[in-house]
Amino acid sequence: MKAVDTTFIIDLLRGDMDAVEKAEEFDVAGEAAIPAVNLFEITYGVYKSRHIDRERRLFEVERLFSRMDLFPLDARAAVEAGKILESSAERER
């Protein structure tokens, strides 16, 4: 099982060819997984963005994640998600 991160998913959604090729490898092998916190981050980014067709992107995200295993968001992961969100909010200020 290969866990992918938020940056990889963003690259994939943007059509980056390296990410697309790697995703195809994962798909063939059936080995891609993502932590639930990354799904949270991606979804948050879609809702926050003003430069995309939100409904289309949400459909793409749902389709993509339906093909991956999802690691649950436990207490440790939730704490980490809070730190990540705050860090990104600080950078935007």
pLDDT digits (tens, 9 = 90+) for 36-83: 888 888 999 999 988 888 999 999 999 988 888 888 878 887 888 788
The tens digit of pLDDT for each residue in 27-46 reads 888 778 888 888 888 999 99
Name the 3-class secondary structure at 27.
Answer: helix
**pLDDT above 90: residue 93:** no
Give the model's pLDDT for residue 66: 87
Closest residue by Cα to residue 5 from 53, 55, 77, 75: 77
Tokens for 80?
Answer: 């980490």
Domains, the chain: 2-92 (3.40.50.1010)
Give the model's pLDDT for residue 58: 92
